[in-house]
Amino acid sequence: MYTVLVVDDSETIRLQLSTDLKEAGYNTLEASNGEEGLDIALNSAVDLIITDYNMPQMDGLSMCQMIQQHNPDKKASIFMLTTQSRPDLKAQAKEAGVMAWILKPYEKASLIRVVGKVLN
């Protein structure tokens, strides 16, 4: 079974996303900011990371860059789930290994379909 790390400072978003993923058959781990997400990503078997951009302590982009820097062979795919839509941020995220940029609010069926395509 695949494990998805959900990183978002909103408890509501984390809970909803984790519930949606669990209903689709995935294990989930949760982090409330980039620092927690980085620790989990580097020390756990994670297949996919879904992270917000704007968070306290460390934003999602910085977390992705740190994952690449500390463990360039890490195989987890990364999705950015955010309200941000600036092209420069998307370009920086792509350089940091982000595969998909999804705008909030997300559509459950579409998100689960994309997760399934990436993991299967």
How far is Cα 86 from Cα 117, in angstroms, rounded to an integer?
Answer: 25
The DSSP output letter for 73 is: T
Distances (CA, A) of 77 to 12, 35, 56, 103: 23, 18, 22, 17
How far is Cα 118 from Cα 5, in angstroms, rounded to an integer?
Answer: 14
Domain residue extents for the chain: 3-119
- Its CATH class, for the domain covering 3-119, is alpha beta
pLDDT of residue 71: 75
pLDDT of residue 72: 65
DSSP output for 4-37: EEEE-S-HHHHHHHHHHHHHTT-EEEEESSHHHH
pLDDT in tens, the chain (120 residues): 999 999 999 999 999 999 999 999 999 999 999 999 999 999 999 999 999 999 999 999 999 999 988 876 667 899 999 999 999 999 999 998 899 999 999 999 999 999 999 998
Beta strand 77-82 with 48-51 is parallel
